Structure 1
Amino acid sequence: MESGSIEERECLLPNLKPRHRELLPTPCGPVKQCSELSWLEKIYVSAAILSLLTVLGANIASFVRQNKTETTDLDKEDVAISVIQLIGIVFCIYYVLRGVLQENQQELLAFILSILLLLVRSVVNFIAAEPKEKKAIVIRFACIVAFGVFLMAASLSYLIKRPNFMAFRVGGALESFQSHYLTLNLCFSLVTFDLQAQLCLCVLLMAGAPQLSLLHAIILGVGIFWALFKAVIGLVAILKEKKPLVWMFLVQNLPELVYLGYLIYLISRVWIYERTYVLEAGAVTGILISLTIKVGLLVSMVRISHCFGQGLHERMFAVPGTRP
């Protein structure tokens, strides 16, 4: 009777054992341990990375083949598109890894958007190509379409079915901490997405270098290093909660906004007088996308800077077992 009552009492006691393991602190914030991932998440990540590596291989093969042939204006355009696709694939691998390990929905949305832009650009490029050019890029085009549709469908299904508990695990029960953590992740994602957009835009504009002056070509070349340096400043400002770096990051964006506005004017004149469309249309589209990202990024950076010093940094980078 006594043993039976003990068993009954143990059954009535709440299960206080944690349903998850400790998060691992990293320079980019806390992440889940790989052993904590479900079998479905492991399949999703493995399939996504293998698909991206396959498309990456097809792009590299196409890029090498283009460099071995004599370059024309159309070839230069296709080389630029290949480089942009290579940049997008590298960023997509980063997005999917961070999105799953940190349960970061913004990163997965950026991943889906990057795949969509890559898919749309490939379809437009294939339709506009001549019959001879289509034979050279058909393998790359087929890989991008097949794996792009698969990755978008799988990512959307994962986002719908997978709830986000990371904000609670980092911020605790306080909704204010959870809100700050989500805003911080949004800023982090926008900084990397802005970097991707700037690199792709620089490559696309440099492909039309004959239509630009030497000064613009130099500005675009320096702009690649400027974008990398600015992204580092922004990420450090977010993760270390340094308001001076936030203002430095905001100031760094001002000359970019002015230059992007001038480029729209310059490219519009090329459109009118030279009646060229392909690279110019892609450049204007890239500029508008970059401007949209920057507006959202600047607003989010100002918002998150008001949350500095409230303890979120300590929670994110606390040693396992010592989190307040």
Structure 2
Amino acid sequence: MDETSPLLDSQPQDSPDLLSPNLRPRHQELIPTPCGPVKPWVELSLPVKLYYSFTIVSLLALLGLTITSIYKQHTETDEPGEDDFTVSLIQMVGILFCIYYISRGVLQENRQELVVFVLSVLVLMIRSVVNFTVLGAKSKQELLVRFVCIMCLGVVHVLCTSVLIQKPNMMAFRVGGALERLQEQYFLLNFCFSMVTFDLQAQLCLCILITTSDPAMSARSSIILAVGVVWACLTAAVGAVAVLKEAKALVWVFMVQNLPQVAFFIYLMYTVIKKWYEDNIFTLEAAAVTGALLCLLIKVVLFWGLIRLVQSFGQGLRERMFAATK
């Protein structure tokens, strides 16, 4: 028998074209992006296309109403309602992140992003209800249109997105093939990436709460807060790159970067709770404490996911996700 026969060839066959059809990655028809492969528009079903388009248009409309409300509150001659101005700013940030969540959730069949989108919409609705109930008659009349739009569209988005979440998800199989370990790693990767984004949103909203709750903030505190915003954005960027590029060194850098933030959140809760005994109105203070606790919870969950994800680095998922289309 010929010793050069393929049957006796002991060399590993690493070429993707020589892999078993069940193990070959199925992402060649997907569109590669810096955040991972996404489905082309033509692959989306007609109902999904209609809902996605409706969601983007409705969120942009709400964004326009919110920006208009912020402008009116900022330019009015009377003293604006501090609580409502804060809520409007947070709603604007929430709407911008919702546009990102629904886009990534639909185009990547990312259930984590869809779940975060639903949670963000629910928080937006609850915040709107609480804010609307404590407003005066004049303010209620001015914000009635925005309130009705948020509540009606919010119910539609929660119901429709819940249906999308229940649909079969084939993205992990298309990217990782039939290998269960790669599918699990793909799930963890998306989970950690979503938590990094959600963490950034929570921190930005918390910074807005802190800034607007203390109009007499000293210059030193303002500088510290501004540095904190830049640090949060930088930390999120490092975390996203670390997750997508499977860079273990950046993962540890990301965790170290979070330590000052954790210390700040603990200090913030201490100072705000201490201030409660000096003020008679606790609305924004309670929101700040709740936001700090939420940020701490997000970081705990994120660290747990990152520790599990790091253990699966180097198994070939990154190469499959960012491979050039054929």
Q: What is the TM-score when the length of structure 2 is the normalising length? A: 0.89
Distance 1:268 1:246 in 2: 33
* SS of equivalent residue, structure 2 residue 277: helix
CA-atom RMSD in angstroms? 1.7
Matched, 1:308 2:275: no
Q: Work out which of the residue numbers 106, 116, 125 in structure 1 matches 2:131.
A: 125
For 1:194, the equivalent position in structure 2 comes to: 199
Matched, 1:164 2:169: yes
Distance 1:277 1:177 in 2: 48
Distance 1:216 1:306 in 2: 40
Letter in 1 for 2:170: F
- Map 1:1-324 → 2, pairs under 5 A: 22-70=29-77, 72=79, 75-160=81-166, 162-210=167-215, 212-321=217-326
Count of matched residue positions in the alignment of Structure 1 and Structure 2:
302
Deviation per residue, 1:243-263 (Å, 9 max, x gap): 111011000111111110111
Distance 2:78 2:219 in 1: 21
1:213 Cα offset (Å): 4.6
* 8 Å Cα contact 1:171/1:315 also seen in 2: yes
Deviation per residue, 1:208-234 (Å, 9 max, x gap): 124655433322221111111111100
> Where do 5+ consecutive residues of structure 2 fail to align?
1-24
Letter in 1 for 2:229: I
Deviation per residue, 1:155-177 (Å, 9 max, x gap): 112212x1110000011101000
Letter in 2 for 1:302: I
**Percent of aligned pairs sharing the same letter:** 51
Q: Compared with structure 1, are the counterparts of its residues 252 and 71 closer, same or farther at alpha carbon in structure 2 (3 Å cutoff)? A: farther
* SS of equivalent residue, structure 1 residue 273: coil
1:71 Cα offset (Å): 5.5
* 8 Å Cα contact 1:58/1:143 also seen in 2: no
Q: Compared with structure 1, are the counterparts of its residues 97 and 31 closer, same or farther at alpha carbon in structure 2 (3 Å cutoff)? A: same
* 8 Å Cα contact 1:54/1:143 also seen in 2: no
1:19 Cα offset (Å): 10
* SS of equivalent residue, structure 1 residue 274: coil
Q: Compared with structure 1, are the counterparts of its residues 272 and 212 closer, same or farther at alpha carbon in structure 2 (3 Å cutoff)? A: farther
Which protein has greater RCO, CA pairs closer than 8 Å, 6+ apart? 2
Distance 1:121 1:286 in 2: 13
Tell me whether 89-98 or 76-85 shows the greater mean CA deviation: 76-85
